[in-house]
Structure 1
Amino acid sequence: MSELKHTPTAGEDFPRTWSQFLDWFATEDDCLRYLERLRWRDGFVCPSCASTDAPYRASRARLMCQSCRHQGTVTAGTIFEKTRTPLKVWLAAAWYITSQKHGVSALGLQRVLGLGSYQTAWTMLHRFRRAMVRPGRERLAGMVEVDEVYLAIHDRRVAQSSAGRKSHTTKALIAVAVEILEPKGFGRIRLQPIADDTSACVLPFVREVVEPGSLLHTDGSSIYHGLTEEGYQHKRIVMSGADSPAHISMPGVHRVSALLKRWLLGTHHGAVKPLQLDHYLDEFVFRFNRRTSRSRGQLFYRLLEQAVVAEPVTYRQIAQRPPKVKASP
């Protein structure tokens, strides 16, 4: 998707308050009309033939293209596809997710919405996480710190042994990139699980998330020796024996890493399935990069705007998805 240029207006494009939210989305039809406006801001476009003729509106909120006779719904091809959960609940979940500064766990979402199943809440959260990465988003630029960090995560499953219940803990290696602003402060970030701390894993991450020509700050590791050949300016900061500690020499990656660990422990109690770790990282990036937004309603708008273009995914696909590990071809 191309760059989102539309600037939403509170009270017109999204509700200002929870009370206004309840007025806007009183029925399922209200929700469908809102999602349709988000999906086709400039008018209906047939997903089959790309016709822009106004569709024929059949029963059960179905839309039929007058050119090719293709039938579909507003939610077809989105994260809401084939859901049995009312759209009023979906939109309430999106509002709650974006209104909570530090996010929400599946158990917390289940309790707030009164869902009968933890699995439903868990799947809803993961579907929304798929919508938190905007296709075609810009790469980081300017001055960028790059490093790797280990995260200790715990699978929710536990094993019964002779010593009692034992938690399954594993360490995940995460590549971190942080824009450094002048004279101080941090810009956007990118996070990604990698298989190991080698050039074969780190350089593809850098190529994917950082604009060529940027000035990269890294530690003295040999895995970064190829950055100049990749078209980047490179400043190595050797930590061993340096006068300044690592968190002073490279403040961005250390601050982000600390916040990430605190978020995982505070919101999710460190219990994150390794197979879904990359999508938890996507949520953290979504929240961090929008931390200065003064309107939670605008975050709600942006999340739904991306949700209506994100690919549908089922519970089975989420639960059995293989780990996302970047390596060189």
Structure 2
Amino acid sequence: MESETLQARSKPPRAGVDYPRNYAEFLAWFPDDAACLDYLDWIRWKDGFTCPSCHGSKGWRMKNGKWWCDACRNRVSATAGTIFHRTRTPLTVWFAAAWHLTSAKNGVSAKTLHRILGFGSYQTAWAMLHRFRCAISHAGHDMLSGQVEVDETVFGGVRHGKRGRGAEGKVLVAVAVELLSPKGFGRCRLQIIPNAESETLKAFIRKHIKPGSTIYTDGLISYPGAAKDEYNHQGTSIKGSGKKANEVLPGVHRVAALVKRWLMGTHQGSFEEDHLQAYLDEFTFRFNRRKSTHRGMLFFRLLEQCVAMHPMSFRELVANPKPKNVAQEFAVPSNLRHKAPASLDISVPIHPWRTALP
């Protein structure tokens, strides 16, 4: 018996080979759970199998799509230790939800997903979508660079009260947007912040913007200290300029308007503060990939993050929406360990992602 070795994929994902180009292709690729499991296997172990329990690299594929680790003698599934861990929902349903989430221009709400996929409860649809959002939140981000606008905006409910910075009962969100030459906008970043003080804005800028970039802000007194030393800061007082705020900082105002419109349209403006960051991360994920020629690319990127995410229970989703890193070790419980099976099948199903030439 020989262990299966998968070649590393350093090239960008290819439409029609690494991910489906359209819904018809999606249906043809993933007719059953076996095909879905093989796709997750292929995405997760790009450079070859690695046991999540003992980190051994020698293993064999079995007929049921799982792996047999030669070192610790455990049977391992590509879903082990991911957001799909021990799921009772068919993978075909997970994949359908992921496709609807990424292929729809404005995403999909839990209420809509509940209706189109026929879930037994709204709670199931909400939990599935929020696990996807946590996976998106966990995604690594390249820092913004070049010319970048930075500002804050306020998200709030129906309660009336003070407007702008320091608004009562509302959420303050920092926004950063790249400016492209000669015109247009690049990527964005959105993050909830507790206040608009210099140290808070400094942490946001250092986290999301590459040193040496030029930062454009309004005349808020917090910005000179937040952007000093490592950045070229250009602040403009809105009152002193005689211009409207959206004329001085068009990028951040455009993005802020889009995300608020998206929340109102797709989610009817309904969100809890504890989960707002996950919604902001979903919007950022979409906005920064808005020029993708195939929506299937977003589907592929989402599943990449799903197999890199630690499993989350419903209680964790509600109580602690912040994503966790994948555990360094995933120990298979002793009662689930098995003796070596009588036969092993290392053949790989014939799927586009397995058979295409490099």
TM-score, normalised relative to structure 1: 0.88
Q: CA deviation at 1:322?
A: 6.8
Contact 1:212 1:230 in 2 (8 A): no
Residue 164 of structure 2 corresponds to none
Post-superposition Cα deviations, 1:138-177, rounded to whole Å, max 9, x if no partner, equal: 111111111110012369xxxxxxxxxxxxx941110001
Contact 1:214 1:232 in 2 (8 A): yes
Answer yes or no: is 1:42 the counterpart of 2:41.
no
Contact 2:152 2:175 in 1 (8 A): yes
Contact 1:107 1:121 in 2 (8 A): yes
> 1: distance between equivalents of 2:61 and 2:144?
44
Over aligned residue pairs, what C-alpha RMSD do you find?
A: 2.1
> 2: distance between equivalents of 1:110 and 1:322?
21
Read off the aligned partner of 1:84 and give its amino acid letter: R
Q: Give unmatched runs, 5+ long, in structure 2.
A: 1-8, 160-167, 324-358
Residue 10 of structure 1 corresponds to 15
User: Stretches of 4+ moved more than 4 A in 1?
Assistant: none
1:56-95 equivalences under 5 Å are 57=62, 61-95=65-99
Answer yes or no: is 1:275 the counterpart of 2:274.
yes
Radius of gyration: which is bigger? Answer: 2
Greater mean deviation of Cα atoms: 276-285 or 47-56: 47-56
Q: CA deviation at 1:133?
A: 3.5
Q: CA deviation at 1:136?
A: 3.5
Answer yes or no: is 1:30 the counterpart of 2:35.
yes
Give the % identical residues.
49
1:204-283 equivalences under 5 Å are 204-283=203-282
> What secondary structure does 2:225 align onto?
coil
1:309-328 equivalences under 5 Å are 309-321=308-320
Q: CA deviation at 1:202?
A: 1.5
> What secondary structure does 1:236 align onto?
strand
Contact 2:147 2:213 in 1 (8 A): yes
Residue 290 of structure 2 corresponds to 291
Q: CA deviation at 1:72?
A: 2.7
Read off the aligned partner of 2:129 and give its amino acid letter: L
> 2: distance between equivalents of 1:43 and 1:153?
49
Relative CO higher for 1 or 2, CA cutoff 8 Å, sep ≥ 6? 2
Contact 1:35 1:308 in 2 (8 A): yes
Contact 1:14 1:298 in 2 (8 A): yes
> 2: distance between equivalents of 1:298 and 1:56?
27
Residue 341 of structure 2 corresponds to none
Contact 2:82 2:306 in 1 (8 A): yes
Greater mean deviation of Cα atoms: 49-58 or 123-132: 49-58
**More strand per residue: 1 or 2?**
1
> 1: distance between equivalents of 2:34 and 2:318?
31
Contact 1:153 1:172 in 2 (8 A): no
Q: CA deviation at 1:9?
A: 1.5
Q: CA deviation at 1:278?
A: 0.5
Residue 164 of structure 1 corresponds to none
Q: CA deviation at 1:56?
A: 5.5
Read off the aligned partner of 1:207 and give its amino acid letter: R
> 2: distance between equivalents of 1:292 and 1:195?
32
1:107-186 equivalences under 5 Å are 107-133=111-137, 135-153=139-157, 170-186=169-185
TM-score, normalised relative to structure 2: 0.81
Read off the aligned partner of 1:144 and give its amino acid letter: V
> 1: distance between equivalents of 2:227 and 2:275?
33
Residue 102 of structure 1 corresponds to 106
Q: CA deviation at 1:128?
A: 0.6
